[in-house]
């Protein structure tokens, strides 16, 4: 595994490709992403590359850009942000911090699933509907999710596990440059704590192995204790954290 700084840049770039935006702008080392409000990851400023323009003027540029898109301005922050001290500057400008997210990585273990998941390169409407419902998103985002899924370039699989015709778990894997990114893993509430999340993880990791991935990464909010316990049991360890700042 690379050092922390290299790891942050690597996984952040992989995640940009695995979860694309509808539109994006690169502005003096900052990546501005827009996706109609679907996920903060795809609707935030990512200040991960070196910059030279005066910082307050760049913040003003971002404010104007997101206002034009009728979106709140959100900064996605890591230890890698540029310039130095930017997190403190945002705090002084009234941008409040929220939701520490643990980015975790693991070598892909040789575990095979007991329950096979259905795989799709692009999810059908039912997959998207079930995912949005289980994850608590507005069903109006269905078209946006379909567009983003179709535009994703890395090798990918949208999966679901069904029991007697009912969707009990969904998940998504994107494979690029030897890494499998795990996203959108959700289990229907009444089927939680029954092993379906673990089986979905096995299927997603197996997809990565079939596509020559040696490592996997995922992102989980630090307060999600059941998910953290599952990922820990599969060998995942924290590589770094990110958090958001917004007004």
Contacts of 65 (CB under 8 A, 6+ apart): 25, 32
Query: 66 and 85 share a domain?
Result: yes
Q: Which of 14, 2, 73 is nearest to 44 (CA)?
A: 73
Helix (H) or strand (E) holding 204: helix 196-210
Query: 123 and 65 share a domain?
Result: no
Query: 93 and 181 share a domain?
Result: no
Does the residue 188 lie in any domain?
A: yes
> Looking at residue 42, what DSSP letter applies?
G
pLDDT at residue 5 above 60?
yes
Vertex 56: Cα angle to 55 and 58 (nearest 5)? 65
Does the residue 90 lie in any domain?
A: yes
What is the share, in percent, of the chain residues with pLDDT greater than 90? 94
pLDDT at residue 205 above 60?
yes
Query: 47 and 117 share a domain?
Result: no
Range of lowest pLDDT (65-69, 111-115, 181-185):
111-115
Does the residue 221 lie in any domain?
A: no
Does the residue 35 lie in any domain?
A: yes
Does the residue 192 lie in any domain?
A: yes
* Residue owning tokens 């890494």: 179
pLDDT at residue 121 above 70?
yes
pLDDT at residue 2 above 70?
no
Residue 30 lies in domain: 4-101
Query: 131 and 83 share a domain?
Result: no
pLDDT at residue 1 above 80?
no
Exposure class string for 78-97: b at 16+ Cβ within 10 A, else e: bebbbeeebbeebeeeebee
Query: 118 and 148 share a domain?
Result: yes
- The domain tally of the chain equals 2
CATH number of the domain enclosing 175: 3.40.630.30
């Amino acid at each position: 595994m690379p050092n922390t700084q290299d790891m942050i840049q690597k996984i952040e770039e992989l995640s940009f490709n695995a979860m694309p935006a509808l539109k994006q702008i690169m502005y003096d080392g900052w990546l501005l992403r827009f996706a109609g409000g679907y996920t903060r990851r795809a609707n935030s400023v990512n200040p991960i590359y070196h910059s030279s323009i005066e910082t307050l003027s760049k913040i003003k540029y971002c404010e104007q850009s997101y206002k034009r898109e009728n979106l709140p301005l959100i900064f996605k922050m890591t230890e890698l942000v540029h310039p130095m001290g930017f997190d403190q500057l945002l705090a002084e400008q009234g941008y409040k911090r929220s939701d520490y997210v643990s980015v975790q990585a693991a070598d892909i273990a040789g575990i095979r699933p007991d329950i096979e998941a259905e795989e799709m390169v692009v999810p059908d409407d039912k997959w998207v509907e079930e995912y949005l419902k289980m994850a608590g998103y507005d069903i109006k985002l269905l078209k946006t999710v379909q567009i983003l899924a179709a535009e994703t370039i890395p090798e990918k699989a949208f999966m679901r596990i069904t029991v007697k015709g009912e969707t009990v778990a969904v998940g998504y894997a994107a494979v690029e440059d030897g890494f499998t990114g795990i996203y959108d893993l959700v289990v229907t509430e009444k089927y939680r704590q029954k092993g379906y999340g673990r089986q979905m993880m096995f299927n997603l990791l197996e997809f990565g192995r079939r596509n020559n991935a040696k490592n996997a990464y995922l992102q989980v909010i630090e307060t999600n204790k059941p998910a953290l316990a599952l990922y820990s049991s599969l060998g995942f360890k924290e590589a770094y954290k990110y958090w958001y700042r917004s007004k």
